[in-house]
Amino acid sequence: RPWNSMEIGAHRDLVGEYVNALRKTDLKVGCYFSLREWDNPLYNRETMDLFYERHFFPQLKDLVNNYKPDLIWADGPDSMNDKIWQVERTLSWLYSESPVKDSIVVNDRWANNTGRKHGDYYTREYSNTNSTYNKPWEECRGIGFSFGFNLE
């Protein structure tokens, strides 16, 4: 059963409340979108096509169609490449068919080989480089080299 905050936990549309609050201000709406789903049985190299068709792409379309974010911060670099993640299809839909096609901004973290290739800006993580880029970029660092629980 998929997680849905309307049915489990808060019994509220948490993303909708966030989006509505931001739309009342001059702030843009940005949504973090994790490509990884370690607890989903379809999330493995052998069944990625099913994972994409049944979970990933419908979830992304739901997010975009219902909330129309200004920015999607994709978080997906791992051991799987852009062919496995169907990045071309995903970005083609976002930029050509989605309700935010003329305004959406995305980063470049759609697969392990999409850095500095796809997206409107680059997202570096823990980089120590003096490189110059031909697009806007950001640098991300977690606290204590972690973006989650760190036992040490």
Name the phi and psi angles at 50, rounded to 5.
Answer: -65, -40
Which residue has tokens 């609050």?
A: 21
For residue 44, how many other CB atoms are within 10 A of its CB? Answer: 12
Report pLDDT for 2.
Answer: 60
- Structural domain count, the chain: 1
Q: How far apart are CA 100 and CA 37, in angstroms?
A: 25
| pTM, full prediction | 0.89
The arithmetic mean of pLDDT across residues 75-87, rounded, is 89
Q: How far apart are CA 113 and CA 124, in angstroms?
A: 13
Q: Any alpha helices (H) in 27-96, and if so which ranges?
A: 48-51, 57-67, 82-85, 87-96
Residue 4 lies in a domain: no
Residue 12 lies in a domain: no
Residue 75 lies in a domain: yes
Residue 9 lies in a domain: no
Q: How far apart are CA 26 and CA 71, in angstroms?
A: 14
Residue 147 lies in a domain: no
The arithmetic mean of pLDDT across residues 88-110, rounded, is 98
Note down the domain range covering 36.
24-140
Residue 98 lies in a domain: yes
Q: Is pLDDT of 36 > 60?
A: yes
